[in-house]
């Protein structure tokens, strides 16, 4: 089968479409014929190399997929070949103390498709049965591929970790990427009374308005922390979604209301901002980490997507053979929403 192969860490020159053996399912696995697969920032980290994450080369990247069932293992009795499915990319051991509590995203042996194990940028991928869900009808393959990782991550951040309540106020830094775009829609769906988003791009802010943002702030021209306080009568917001890190942390602390929650799932601008402990204890803030999500969260996200209450936003679609161009676009990040590879 055709697969995008990463032969070593580095730039796009390390990526090429090549041949790989067709996967065969283990007893509890499903082989999915991949039709569309979305890129995530994780794919850039995997290409570049991450401290502590060992990748067996040549490696197939890619975490998200929509496709059809090609084959099932002997113990899989509830899925038939041809069924249209999406793949939830977090693989858990099902046996550790966290898995037994249903907290699969903190599994002691947690792996993500395309990170430590072969991923979805190929014509077929074998995954455990429990990672396969019905694809929402009414969405294109590309839209279906665009939501699993980013939608799940955003859902856990706002619903489970920050416990966002109707009527609360939210700040989302750096609108445009998958997680922030889903976070905006999930915050509105959860009944947030005010969702403020920031970006350095006027085009992204215009698009964010269409997706439901109440207030948009150009972070190149605005002191975001100060402006959020002004917009909220010096109170600040209940929840801050910060996946930017070093560049936005100070604004997050400033923008958070007393007893506010700051939830982080990434640090694209750097992982070591000044903590400002005085602000944290004086305002009695809660700092929440979050990554990926659980089966229950994915199962809760799915009907919201199926009902069209959360719409996966697709920025561009590239054929698998033009994956390097897709990576380039992800890196330069000019659009809003997900970049998707058309595979099948
Ligand atoms: Zn586990």
* pLDDT tens by residue, 149-178: 999 999 999 999 999 999 999 999 999 999
| Cα–Cα distance for residue pair 174/201, rounded to 1 Å | 9
Q: Given pLDDT bands bounded at 50, 70 and 90, which one contains residue 183?
A: very high
Question: Is 79 a domain residue?
Answer: yes
Same domain, 179 and 282: yes
Supply the pLDDT for residue 248: 96
Supply the pLDDT for residue 235: 98
Supply the pLDDT for residue 17: 98
Instruction: Give the pLDDT confidence of 103-113 residue by residue, as tens digits.
Output: 999 999 999 99
Burial class (CB in 10 A: 0-12, 13-18, 19+), 308: exposed
- Of the candidates 268, 205, 222, 215, which has an alpha carbon nearest to the alpha carbon of residue 237? 215
**Residue range of the domain that includes 93:** 2-147+312-342
Same domain, 159 and 75: no
Same domain, 169 and 137: no
Same domain, 265 and 190: yes
Supply the pLDDT for residue 51: 86
Question: Is 205 a domain residue?
Answer: yes
What is the 179 CA–ligand 1 centroid distance (Å)?
A: 24
Average pLDDT over residues 305-320: 97
What is the 222 CA–ligand 1 centroid distance (Å)?
A: 44
What is the 100 CA–ligand 1 centroid distance (Å)?
A: 7
Prediction pTM value: 0.97
Q: Measure the CA dihedral 68/70/73/76, to 10°.
A: 40
What is the 344 CA–ligand 1 centroid distance (Å)?
A: 32
What is the 106 CA–ligand 1 centroid distance (Å)?
A: 7
What is the 110 CA–ligand 1 centroid distance (Å)?
A: 6
What is the 117 CA–ligand 1 centroid distance (Å)?
A: 16
What is the 281 CA–ligand 1 centroid distance (Å)?
A: 34
Question: Is 76 a domain residue?
Answer: yes
Same domain, 233 and 123: no
What is the 265 CA–ligand 1 centroid distance (Å)?
A: 20
Q: Which of 256, 274, 289 is the last residue of a domain?
A: 289
Question: Is 306 a domain residue?
Answer: no
Supply the pLDDT for residue 275: 83
Q: Is the pLDDT of residue 118 over 90?
A: yes
What is the 145 CA–ligand 1 centroid distance (Å)?
A: 25
Average pLDDT over residues 325-334: 94
What is the 292 CA–ligand 1 centroid distance (Å)?
A: 14
CA distances (Å), 249 to each of 218, 228, 268, 302, in order?
16, 14, 12, 31
Same domain, 272 and 332: no
Supply the pLDDT for residue 344: 86
Instruction: Give the pLDDT confidence of 50-89 residue by residue, as tens digits.
Output: 888 889 999 999 999 999 999 999 999 999 999 999 999 9
What is the 191 CA–ligand 1 centroid distance (Å)?
A: 33
Supply the pLDDT for residue 127: 98
What is the 103 CA–ligand 1 centroid distance (Å)?
A: 8
| Cβ–Cβ < 8 Å for 68, 137 | no
What is the 112 CA–ligand 1 centroid distance (Å)?
A: 13
What is the 294 CA–ligand 1 centroid distance (Å)?
A: 11
What is the 21 CA–ligand 1 centroid distance (Å)?
A: 28
What is the 201 CA–ligand 1 centroid distance (Å)?
A: 40
Same domain, 140 and 156: no
What is the 133 CA–ligand 1 centroid distance (Å)?
A: 20
List beta partners, residue 30: 72, 127
Average pLDDT over residues 215-234: 98
Same domain, 6 and 142: yes
Same domain, 74 and 179: no
Question: Is 123 a domain residue?
Answer: yes
Does the CA dihedral 211-88-159-266 come out positive or negative?
negative
Q: Measure the CA dihedral 151/239/164/156, to 10°.
A: 30
What is the 307 CA–ligand 1 centroid distance (Å)?
A: 31
What is the 160 CA–ligand 1 centroid distance (Å)?
A: 19
What is the 240 CA–ligand 1 centroid distance (Å)?
A: 29
Average pLDDT over residues 119-147: 97
| Cα–Cα distance for residue pair 187/309, rounded to 1 Å | 11
What is the 114 CA–ligand 1 centroid distance (Å)?
A: 18
Supply the pLDDT for residue 241: 98
Q: Is 341 helix (H, G, I), strand (E, B) or coil?
A: strand
CATH number at residue 260: 3.90.180.10
Query: Percent of the chain, pLDDT > 70?
Result: 100
Supply the pLDDT for residue 170: 98
What is the 109 CA–ligand 1 centroid distance (Å)?
A: 6
Question: Is 332 a domain residue?
Answer: yes
Question: Is 226 a domain residue?
Answer: yes
Supply the pLDDT for residue 232: 98
Supply the pLDDT for residue 339: 98
Instruction: Give the pLDDT confidence of 241-275 residue by residue, as tens digits.
Output: 999 999 999 999 999 999 999 999 999 888 999 88
| Cα–Cα distance for residue pair 95/264, rounded to 1 Å | 27
Other Cβ atoms closer than 10 A to 270: 11
Same domain, 158 and 121: no
What is the 52 CA–ligand 1 centroid distance (Å)?
A: 19
Question: Is 296 a domain residue?
Answer: no
Same domain, 183 and 64: no
Same domain, 52 and 73: yes
Q: Report the chain's mean pLDDT, rounded to a whole number.
A: 97
pLDDT: is 270 or 316 the higher one? Answer: 316
Considering its fold, how many domains does the chain have in total?
Answer: 2
Supply the pLDDT for residue 334: 87
């Amino acid at each position: 089968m055709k697969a995008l192969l990463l032969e070593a860490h580095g730039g796009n020159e390390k990526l090429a479409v090549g041949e790989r053996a067709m996967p065969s399912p283990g007893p509890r696995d499903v082989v999915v014929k991949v039709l569309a697969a979305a890129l995530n920032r994780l794919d850039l980290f995997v290409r570049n190399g991450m401290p502590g994450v060992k990748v067996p080369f040549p490696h197939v990247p890619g975490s998200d997929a929509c496709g059809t069932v090609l084959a099932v293992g002997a113990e899989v009795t509830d899925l038939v070949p041809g069924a249209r499915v999406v793949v939830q990319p977090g693989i858990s051991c099902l046996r550790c103390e966290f898995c037994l509590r249903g907290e699969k995203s903190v599994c002691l042996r947690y792996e993500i498709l395309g990170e430590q194990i072969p991923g979805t940028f190929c014509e077929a991928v074998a995954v455990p049965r429990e990672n396969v869900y019905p694809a929402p009808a009414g969405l294109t393959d590309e839209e279906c591929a665009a939501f699993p990782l980013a939608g799940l991550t955003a859902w856990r951040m706002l619903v489970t970790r920050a416990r966002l309540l109707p009527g609360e106020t939210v700040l989302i830094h750096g609108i445009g990427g998958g997680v922030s775009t889903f976070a905006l829609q999930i915050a509105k769906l959860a009944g947030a009374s005010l969702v403020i988003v920031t970006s350095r791009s006027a085009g992204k802010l215009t698009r964010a308005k269409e997706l439901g943002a109440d207030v948009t702030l150009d972070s190149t021209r605005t002191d975001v922390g100060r402006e959020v306080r002004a917009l909220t009568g010096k109170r600040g917001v209940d929840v801050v979604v910060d996946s930017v890190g070093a560049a936005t942390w100070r604004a997050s602390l400033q923008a958070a209301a007393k007893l506010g929650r700051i939830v982080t799932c990434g640090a694209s601008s750097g992982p070591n901002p000044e903590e400002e402990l005085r602000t944290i204890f004086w305002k009695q803030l809660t700092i929440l980490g979050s990554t990926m999500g659980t089966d229950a969260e994915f199962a809760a996200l799915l009907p919201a997507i199926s009902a069209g209450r959360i719409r996966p936003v697709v920025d561009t679609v590239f054929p698998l053979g033009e994956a390097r161009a897709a990576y380039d676009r992800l890196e330069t990040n000019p659009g809003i929403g997900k970049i998707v590879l058309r595979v099948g």
